[in-house]
């Protein structure tokens, strides 16, 4: 089976999935750290939301410097 070069659509789709994965990973990491620290449910939700925001900023920054 021969594999050809990836199209722009495939590359764009793969990059979008990678960006979403990075955002979710950073958000989950914030939540897990708060949970491990014994955070209340409100603080836990705040940590997850904060992690998601940081994940978006990190993804934006990485996209910007790799152009």
Q: What is the pLDDT of residues 19-59, one digit of tens each?
A: 999 999 999 999 999 999 999 999 999 999 999 999 999 99
For the chain, the structural domain boundaries read: 13-65
pLDDT at 60: 96
Cα–Cα distance measured from residue 20 to residue 24, given in angstroms and rounded to the nearest whole number: 6
> Would the pLDDT of 2 be above 70?
no
pLDDT at 10: 92
Query: H or E segment at 16?
Result: helix 8-36
Predicted TM-score (pTM) of this structure: 0.85
Give the residue from 67, 61, 59, 65 showing the smallest Cα distance to 16.
59
> Would the pLDDT of 1 be above 80?
no
Cα–Cα distance measured from residue 36 to residue 47, given in angstroms and rounded to the nearest whole number: 12
pLDDT at 46: 97
């Amino acid at each position: 089976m021969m594999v050809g070069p990836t199209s722009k659509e495939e590359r764009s789709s793969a990059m979008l999935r990678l960006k979403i994965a990075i955002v979710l990973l950073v958000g989950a990491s914030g939540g897990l750290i708060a949970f491990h620290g014994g955070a209340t449910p409100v603080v836990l939700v705040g940590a997850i939301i904060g992690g998601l925001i940081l994940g978006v900023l990190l993804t934006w920054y990485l996209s910007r410097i790799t152009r």
